[in-house]
Amino acid sequence: MFEAPYLLFLGDAPDGLAAKMAQGIYDWRPEAAVGQLRMDGCNADMGITDMTIQEAVDAGVKTLVVGVVNRGGIISDAWISVLVEALEAGLDVASGLHNLLRDVPALVEAAEKSGQTLHDVRIPSVQYPIASGKKRTGKRCLAVGTDCSVGKMYTTLAIDREMKKQGLKSTFRATGQCGILIEGDGVPLDAVIADFMAGAVEYLTPDNSPDHWDLIEGQGSLYHASYSGVTMALIHGGQPDALILCHEPTRERMRGLPDYTLPSLEQLRDTALPLAQWVNPECKVVGVSVNTQHMSEDEALAYLKGIEEKMGIPAIDPFRQGASRLVEALSCL
Amino acid sequence: MFEAPYLLFLGDAPDGLAAKMAQGIYDWRPEAAVGQLRMDGCNADMGITDMTIQEAVDAGVKTLVVGVVNRGGIISDAWISVLVEALEAGLDVASGLHNLLRDVPALVEAAEKSGQTLHDVRIPSVQYPIASGKKRTGKRCLAVGTDCSVGKMYTTLAIDREMKKQGLKSTFRATGQCGILIEGDGVPLDAVIADFMAGAVEYLTPDNSPDHWDLIEGQGSLYHASYSGVTMALIHGGQPDALILCHEPTRERMRGLPDYTLPSLEQLRDTALPLAQWVNPECKVVGVSVNTQHMSEDEALAYLKGIEEKMGIPAIDPFRQGASRLVEALSCL
């Protein structure tokens, strides 16, 4: 979709959190992030080389990636002049912001003049097909969660990293804007037209060699009243051979839905697995990935042990422990 | 969304099937269909008064509804001149075609000049919200199917008609273009952006008086690999108090998916009900609606009796028997 290596644009990020997308790219694709560009007043820092646009071009950068959330939902004039300079210098510009690059006339004009491309990764750039439901070659693993934002992307990225480390064949398949910025490719599933959701997932995870794993980033939750339809499309379009259940045990209410508590991991398993088996009878739930950031090490380990005993499958926190036990479980399929 | 009464435009329909949308409107809203307009070569006939545009205006018609499928996906020049005449005479024009009225410059120009509106009902005209999952007042019934095109729209329309006949409060809530053309309002759910699907269904079925029934037209099927996400959004956005299971017993393969057989009614019940109860713990499966058009009367009645015995709920074909037993079952909730 867009080319590495990247210059990470941190703009005037007031703090590190505002540059969360740049951090994600740096954490998961450090080899692609050759430099950062920080404007006056920027309080975020990836700890990589500060570069001007020209230095980035000289270093072989292909794409400036907007790695910062804009304040007030506006792409400020201060940003625009930097982005125009990047386009004029021969860089593409990629962004996952709600406010689209293509809606800023100065950027459209600069891109046209320079022949460079604006990549708004929140918006589909492809006419996806209707899903066919046909069996594809290769293996697929999908992360499903008890809620939104419980670590599904982190989990699939960690599995991908571990598989590559072990010399196994795998591809992280991004379905949200952060994942797409990290991978440089993917499907912004939340923004796809309803009829084409499952087809977009099929498009994202085509036939592959029999020993290759597509590691599909999940979205939403079957139990999240706002987004469950997106999750359903991932399950039927992804035709997973393996499901990983993701959970955040200290969360008391569904994200954005104060009237709802979270389902249990057992409920999630018993709901997701039959739905997945309808399109792939061989599908199995192979493991549990728990975000234990709000627990002490002891609490976390005890919690994970309890899950393993109850459910009979590996339960890990990939941030604390890495994903090797999930890779081991997947390798048995 | 658009105003009755209607002039049904049958164009140059080669046969009755091509005018299926006009037939649907006439079948379900005969009081709104005051006349038909047939061009040279039209072989469809609703059996209502043939009218010129001027006669329709004089009869109080507000909207010309395109009730015919266009050949080859093109809105022909012959049609365009009639539609322009309608706009100039003060009628709005509504269409459920894939090819949009708004993409025909002559129609856009005529609409602008006359101040009339082009209604492309396949395309959302509203910015729908993200679903909140909050409980609403009033009652809701959703039709869910073992497959696409098994009679979900017909079933909810038949229940609506029977409820109105009995003096009960009800509204048919259309979620597809045929239903929207019949009702004059609704949400074209297949065309909604993924993130807003469940919110669109909440928008369609707002708070209402406690004894009012929203009868929500279903879409797709939880078991249809291409469209299951849309169905999921209907279940979580609709928060149904009642589900009606819809089925076509002679169909051997899922529509458009030759690799898939249909699930049983029991499978559908056991999958759909827990998902619905997550957002509405009181939800019940109240009945089964079977499209028995490919069975003899004896076969049909025996089949329905068998379903009732197995499942312990009313099983009817609304086309053969009307929907009174489903209304009775709903009235007990």
pLDDT in tens, A93-131: 999 998 999 999 999 999 999 999 999 999 998 999 999
In this complex, do A226 and B133 lie within 8 Å of one another by their Cβ atoms?
A: yes
Q: Is the pLDDT of residue B35 over 90?
A: yes
Confidence at residue A291, expressed as pLDDT on a 0 to 100 scale: 97
**Which among A217, A204, A127 has a CA at the least distance from the CA of A178?**
A217
Confidence at residue B294, expressed as pLDDT on a 0 to 100 scale: 96
Q: Which of A278, A279, A280, A283 to mutate to test the interface with B (most CBs of B within 10 A)?
A: A278
Confidence at residue B155, expressed as pLDDT on a 0 to 100 scale: 98
Indicate the pLDDT class of residue B72, thresholds 50, 70 and 90. confident
Question: Shortest Cα distance from A170 to chain B (angstroms)?
Answer: 25
For a pLDDT cut of 90, what percent of chain B falls above it? 95
Among B residues 99-158, those touching chain A with beta carbons less than 8 Å apart: 130-135
pLDDT in tens, A250-296: 999 999 999 999 999 999 999 999 999 999 999 999 999 999 999 99
Q: Does B4 touch chain A (CB under 8 A)?
A: no
Confidence at residue B1, expressed as pLDDT on a 0 to 100 scale: 84
In this complex, which of A194, A259, A275 lies closest to B194 when CB atoms are compared? A194
Confidence at residue B232, expressed as pLDDT on a 0 to 100 scale: 98
In this complex, do A227 and B263 lie within 8 Å of one another by their Cβ atoms?
A: no
> Please, are residues A233 and A133 in contact by the beta-carbon 8 Å criterion?
no
Q: Does B275 touch chain A (CB under 8 A)?
A: yes
Q: Chain A residue closest to B189 (CA)?
A: A194
pLDDT in tens, A137-178: 999 999 999 999 999 999 999 999 999 999 999 999 999 999
- Which ranges constitute the DSSP H helices of B207-323? 228-238, 265-279, 297-311, 318-321
In this complex, do B257 and A197 lie within 8 Å of one another by their Cβ atoms?
A: no
Q: Which of A195, A235, A239, A271 to mutate to test the interface with B (most CBs of B within 10 A)?
A: A195
Confidence at residue A124, expressed as pLDDT on a 0 to 100 scale: 95
In this complex, do A194 and B193 lie within 8 Å of one another by their Cβ atoms?
A: yes
Confidence at residue B180, expressed as pLDDT on a 0 to 100 scale: 96
Q: Is the pLDDT of residue B291 over 80?
A: yes
Confidence at residue A76, expressed as pLDDT on a 0 to 100 scale: 85
pLDDT in tens, A224-247: 999 999 999 999 999 999 999 999
Question: Shortest Cα distance from A125 to chain B (angstroms)?
Answer: 14
Residues of B in contact with A130 (CB under 8 A): 226, 256
Q: Is the pLDDT of residue A10 over 80?
A: yes
In this complex, which of A192, A222, A257 lies closest to B133 when CB atoms are compared? A257
Residues of B in contact with A199 (CB under 8 A): 226
In this complex, which of B133, B235, B271 lies closest to A260 when CB atoms are compared? B133
For a pLDDT cut of 70, what percent of chain B falls above it? 100
> Please, are residues A190 and A219 in contact by the beta-carbon 8 Å criterion?
yes
Question: Shortest Cα distance from B39 to chain A (angstroms)?
Answer: 33
In this complex, do B228 and A233 lie within 8 Å of one another by their Cβ atoms?
A: yes
Indicate the pLDDT class of residue B162, thresholds 50, 70 and 90. very high
Judged by average pLDDT, the poorest of A51-65, A210-224, A294-308, B14-28 is: B14-28
pLDDT in tens, A271-284: 999 999 999 999 99
The 3 state secondary structure assigned to chain A is CCCCCEEEEEECCCCHHHHHHHHHHHHHCHHHEEEEEECCCCCCCCCCCECCHHHHHHCCCCEEEECCCCHHHCCCHHHHHHHHHHHHCCCEEEECCCCCHHHCHHHHHHHHHHCCCEEECCCCCCCCCCCCCCCCCCEEEEEEECCCCCCHHHHHHHHHHHHHHCCCEEEEECCCHHHHHHHCCCCCHHHCEHHHHHHHHHHHCCCCCCCEEEEECCCCCCCCCCCHHHHHHHHHHHCCCEEEEEECCCCCCECCECCCCCCCHHHHHHHHHHHHHHHCCCCEEEEEEECCCCCCHHHHHHHHHHHHHHHCCCEECHHHHCCHHHHHHHHCC
In this complex, do B228 and A194 lie within 8 Å of one another by their Cβ atoms?
A: no
Confidence at residue B76, expressed as pLDDT on a 0 to 100 scale: 85
Q: Does A203 touch chain B (CB under 8 A)?
A: no
Confidence at residue A221, expressed as pLDDT on a 0 to 100 scale: 98
Indicate the pLDDT class of residue A70, thresholds 50, 70 and 90. confident
Indicate the pLDDT class of residue B106, thresholds 50, 70 and 90. very high
In this complex, do B133 and A279 lie within 8 Å of one another by their Cβ atoms?
A: no
In this complex, which of B190, B257, B279 lies closest to A194 when CB atoms are compared? B190
> What average pLDDT does the segment A218-227 reach?
98
Total Cβ atoms within 10 A of residue A10: 24
Confidence at residue B69, expressed as pLDDT on a 0 to 100 scale: 86
Q: Does A96 touch chain B (CB under 8 A)?
A: no
* Cα distance from N-terminal residue to C-terminal residue, chain A: 31
In this complex, do B259 and A134 lie within 8 Å of one another by their Cβ atoms?
A: yes
Q: Does A279 touch chain B (CB under 8 A)?
A: yes
Q: Chain B residue closest to A255 (CA)?
A: B132
Q: Which of B195, B254, B268 to mutate to test the interface with A (most CBs of A within 10 A)?
A: B195
In this complex, do B191 and A193 lie within 8 Å of one another by their Cβ atoms?
A: yes
In this complex, which of A134, A198, A279 lies closest to B229 when CB atoms are compared? A198
Confidence at residue B70, expressed as pLDDT on a 0 to 100 scale: 80
> What average pLDDT does the segment A184-188 reach?
96
Residue with tokens 């409107």: B25
Confidence at residue B103, expressed as pLDDT on a 0 to 100 scale: 95
Mean of pLDDT over chain B: 96
> What average pLDDT does the segment B155-162 reach?
98
Q: Which of B128, B189, B202, B226 to mutate to test the interface with A (most CBs of A within 10 A)?
A: B226
Residues of A in contact with B129 (CB under 8 A): none
In this complex, do A190 and B189 lie within 8 Å of one another by their Cβ atoms?
A: no
> What average pLDDT does the segment B232-244 reach?
98
pTM (2 d.p.)? 0.95
Which residue(s) pair with B213 in the sheet? B139, B170
Q: Does B256 touch chain A (CB under 8 A)?
A: yes
Q: Does A193 touch chain B (CB under 8 A)?
A: yes
In this complex, which of B130, B222, B259 lies closest to A133 when CB atoms are compared? B259
Residues of A in contact with B236 (CB under 8 A): 225-226, 228-229
Three-state DSSP class for B45? coil
**B324: exposed, middle or buried (Cβ count in 10 Å: 0-12, 13-18, 19+):** middle
Q: Does A302 touch chain B (CB under 8 A)?
A: no
Confidence at residue A71, expressed as pLDDT on a 0 to 100 scale: 73
In this complex, which of B198, B222, B271 lies closest to A225 when CB atoms are compared? B198
Q: Is the pLDDT of residue B71 over 80?
A: no
Q: Does A171 touch chain B (CB under 8 A)?
A: no
Confidence at residue A303, expressed as pLDDT on a 0 to 100 scale: 98
pLDDT in tens, B5-26: 999 999 999 999 899 999 999 9
Q: Chain A residue closest to B237 (CA)?
A: A225
> What average pLDDT does the segment B133-153 reach?
97
Backbone angles phi, psi at A134, to 5 degrees: -75, 145
Q: Is the pLDDT of residue A72 over 80?
A: no
Q: Does A232 touch chain B (CB under 8 A)?
A: yes
Confidence at residue B98, expressed as pLDDT on a 0 to 100 scale: 87
